[in-house]
């Protein structure tokens, strides 16, 4: 089955962009995923094909019109699709959410520009708002590409090694342990010599597993203690659910 993404945008040429390369590009060629862009401009008003207007109540910037975006949305005729508006106000995109979206056969992404979209459009069509992080982009398109990338690599047949998604960062609310490859002893340009940790060269798989788990734990504690809190909260929730 093909994972399908509809994209409502003023800049259709931004797609597939970076997703046309590498693993996601090959997966696109193979039909593991597909996309369709809708140019919001095609549904604009008047001779100038206007898609935005000044905000009620005053203030800076322009707001994308509900009537214009609705026409673009309805042109898709995709009633079963999960509708998402990329916005810094949305719920955070997490690995868990990416997994869930990659298991949803069809999603529709609305990319905003300017100050945003008329709230009535979001309410009337029940759009889910998703943010890719606590910073503001100039438009939703790069956020859509990031969301899609996070989902595409989880689709069956995209990654060569099916083991990979299990061990990587965030899967178990932990950051990943460090990786090393040959040469075992490496002298950097400044003359300092660096060695691969001895345990990884020991061949003792139980020890290696324990070392990696400890590294993951320490890196997570130091860099992202919030992930450990998240896990504690999730566990508590699971224990009180039945």
Question: Contact residues for ligand ADE (CB under 6 A)?
Answer: 86-88, 131-133, 135-137, 140, 143
Q: Which two tokens stand for residue 115?
A: 């100050």
What does the DSSP assignment read for 124-156? HTTPEEEESSSS--SSSHHHHHHHHHHHHTTST
In the complex with ligand ADE, the residue whose CB is nearer, 86 or 227, is 86
In the complex with ligand ADE, the residue whose CB is nearer, 9 or 131, is 131
Q: Which two tokens stand for residue 40?
A: 């919001």
CB of 150 to ligand ADE, least distance (A): 12
Q: Are 33 and 62 in contact (CB under 8 A)?
A: no
CB of 34 to ligand ADE, least distance (A): 22
CB of 109 to ligand ADE, least distance (A): 10
CB of 129 to ligand ADE, least distance (A): 8
In the complex with ligand ADE, the residue whose CB is nearer, 18 or 228, is 18
- Which residues on neighbouring strands pair with residue 128, listed in sequence order? 84
Taking CA atoms, 32 is separated from 19, 132, 146, in Å, by 13, 24, 17
In the complex with ligand ADE, the residue whose CB is nearer, 32 or 148, is 148
- Which of 131, 167, 127, 161 lies closest to 146 in space, CA to CA? 131
Cβ-count burial of 8 within 10 angstroms (0-12 exposed, 13-18 middle, 19+ buried)?
buried
In the complex with ligand ADE, the residue whose CB is nearer, 125 or 212, is 125
Euclidean distance between CA atoms 97 and 19, whole angstroms: 19
Q: What is the largest CA-CA distance in the chain?
A: 72
CB of 60 to ligand ADE, least distance (A): 16
First to last CA, the chain: 34
In the complex with ligand ADE, the residue whose CB is nearer, 138 or 240, is 138
CB of 94 to ligand ADE, least distance (A): 13
């Amino acid at each position: 089955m093909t994972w399908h993404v509809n994209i409502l945008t003023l800049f259709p040429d931004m797609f597939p962009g970076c997703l046309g390369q590498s693993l996601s590009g090959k997966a696109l060629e193979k039909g593991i995923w597909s996309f369709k862009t809708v140019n919001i401009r095609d549904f604009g008003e008047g001779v100038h094909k206007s898609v935005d207007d000044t905000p009620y109540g005053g203030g800076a910037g322009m707001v994308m019109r509900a009537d214009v975006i609705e026409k673009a949305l309805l042109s898709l005729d995709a009633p079963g699709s999960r509708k998402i508006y990329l916005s810094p106000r949305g719920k955070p995109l997490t690995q868990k959410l990416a997994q869930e979206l990659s298991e949803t056969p069809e999603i529709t992404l609305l990319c905003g520009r300017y100050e945003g979209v008329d709230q009535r459009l979001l309410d009337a069509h029940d759009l889910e708002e998703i943010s890719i992080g606590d910073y503001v982009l100039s438009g939703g398109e790069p956020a859509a590409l990031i969301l899609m990338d996070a989902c595409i690599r989880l689709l069956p047949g995209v990654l060569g090694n099916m083991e990979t998604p299990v061990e990587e960062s965030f899967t178990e609310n932990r950051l990943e342990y460090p990786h090393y490859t040959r040469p075992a002893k490496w002298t950097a340009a400044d003359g300092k010599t660096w060695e691969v940790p001895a345990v990884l060269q020991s061949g003792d798989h139980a020890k290696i597993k324990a070392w990696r788990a400890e590294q993951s734990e320490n890196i997570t504690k130091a860099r992202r203690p919030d992930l450990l809190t998240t896990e504690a909260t999730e566990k508590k929730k699971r224990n009180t659910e039945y």
